[in-house]
Amino acid sequence: MTPSRHAVAALLDDIDAAPDAHALFATTSERLRRIAPFDAAVWVATDPVNGLTTAPVRVENLHEGGCGTYWESELLAEHVNLFRDLARARVPVAGLRAVTGGAPAVSALYRNFMRPRGFDDELRAVFRSDGQPWGQLSLFRSVGRPAFDAAETALLHTLSAPLAQRLRSFAQPGGPVCEQSPVDAVDGPGMLLFGPDGALVSINAEARELLAQMPPGPSTATPLGIDLPLPVWILSTAGRARLTGGSTRIRIRATSGRWLVCHASCLRDAQGQPGSTAMVIEPATPSEIAALVVAAYELTRREMEVVELIARGLPTADIAARLVVSPHTVRDHVKSVFDKVGVTSRGELVARLFTEFQEPLMPRGTVRAEFPD
C-alpha cells in the first residue's frame, strides 16, 4: 500500500525533530509501523567509515535468545542481501523474498534466525547520506502476512537519507569540556583477547571499566566463565577482523560523552595462519574523531581542507597558496564553515571540531522494546 503524502510528511517531521538516536529509532518505528506493518525490527547505528555496528541499537519484539545468529549472519554466514552490498547499491533497500525470487530459504539468516521464529520476510535498509552508511534497519513480517512490496521499499528509500542525516547530526559535539570524566580515570588501554572460535578468553581491568561506560544496547554473555556481557558492536568488530584476517575499528561515544576507539586485529602464528583476535579499547584522540565530527556538520571536501589548514594555524594567504585559490575564495569557505558549525572565530572553530567533548550523549535507558498488544 502506498502511504499518503501526509503520512510521509509526518514521518519526516518526526525524524527532523528527534532529540537523540534512541528517540529517532523509537518514534520513527512507531509511526512507520502504522504505514507499513511489521512484527519485529532491529534498528542500528553504524560507523560511517566501515559500516560496522556501533551504538545505539534498538531491538523490537525480539527476545534475547538466538539474537547472536542475527548479528553473526552478516559477517560469517550470509551471502544474500548483505548490508554492505546495500550500502553501495543504487537503492539501499531490499526485501528478502523479492531478491531471492520468492525462495528465502537460500538465506542463512532465514534458515537459522527467521524461520525458527515464525518470520517469513525481511525488509532491510541502509541509512545513507553522501555515500556514507550511518545506520541500518531490518523489518520482519511473520508467516501469513504478505511480503514487503515495492511501495514499502520505496518508502524506506525515501527515509534513508533523512535518517542518515539525522544520525550524522548527533555526531556533533554537545557541550563544554569538563574537568574529568570516567574515561580519564582509566589508567591504560582496555585489552580483550578472543579465541579462534570468537569466544572471549581474557580481558584486563581497564577493558572492564571502559565496557561499563558503553551506551546501553543488546549484548551477549561470554563463555569460559568470564562474567561479562559484550555489546554486539564489540562482537561484530572482532568478528570482522577474524573473518578478514586483518584489522578493523569502530568509534563509540561513551555515556560520559567521550569517544572511544575499539581496534581489533587478527593475530597469526609462526606459520602465518590466523588464530586469536586482539582488541584494544581506548579514548579517541581528536584526529580519530575529526572526520566523523566534520561529516556531522556537512562540510564539503574543500571546506574540510580549509578547516585542517586552519587547525594548523595557517593564515588566509598561506591557505590560499596551499590550495592554489585566491584569498577571497578562502574567506568565502571560512564564512561557510562558520555558518555551518555555528561559530564566529577560528579559535572557536578549532575548539568545536577538535576538542574531546565531555557532555553525556544521552541518558541510560531501555533499548529492547516490545510492541503493545
* Distance between CA atoms of residues 151 and 148, nearest Å: 8
CA angle at 40 for the pair 75 and 365, rounded to the nearest 5°:
85
Residues in CB range of 229: below 8 A, 6 or more apart? 219, 220, 221, 222
pLDDT digits (tens, 9 = 90+) for 316-358: 999 999 999 999 999 999 999 999 888 888 878 877 776 544 3
Q: What local confidence, expressed as pLDDT, does residue 179 receive?
A: 36
Percent of the chain at pLDDT > 90 equals 44
Return the SS3 of 56: strand
Q: How far is CA 61 from CA 34, 141, 180, in A?
A: 16, 11, 39
* Distance between CA atoms of residues 245 and 265, nearest Å: 8
Grid cell 539501499 in the structure block, residue: 92
Amino acid at 32: L
Average pLDDT, the chain: 84
Q: What local confidence, expressed as pLDDT, does residue 1 receive?
A: 64
Q: What local confidence, expressed as pLDDT, does residue 314 receive?
A: 87
Return the SS3 of 301: helix
Sign of CA dihedral 58, 278, 84, 128: positive
* Distance between CA atoms of residues 189 and 295, nearest Å: 27
Domains, the chain: 5-170 (3.30.450.40), 182-286 (3.30.450.20), 288-354 (1.10.10.10)
| Beta-bridge partner residues of 260 | 252, 283
Return the SS3 of 103: coil
* Distance between CA atoms of residues 230 and 252, nearest Å: 14
Q: What local confidence, expressed as pLDDT, does residue 178 receive?
A: 35
For the chain of 373 residues, list the mean pLDDT of each consecutive stretch of 10: 85 94 94 94 87 85 70 72 91 97 93 93 95 94 95 96 92 47 65 90 91 82 70 87 88 81 89 88 77 77 86 87 94 93 84 52 46 61
| pTM (two decimals) | 0.69
Q: What local confidence, expressed as pLDDT, does residue 361 receive?
A: 35
Q: What local confidence, expressed as pLDDT, does residue 144 receive?
A: 94
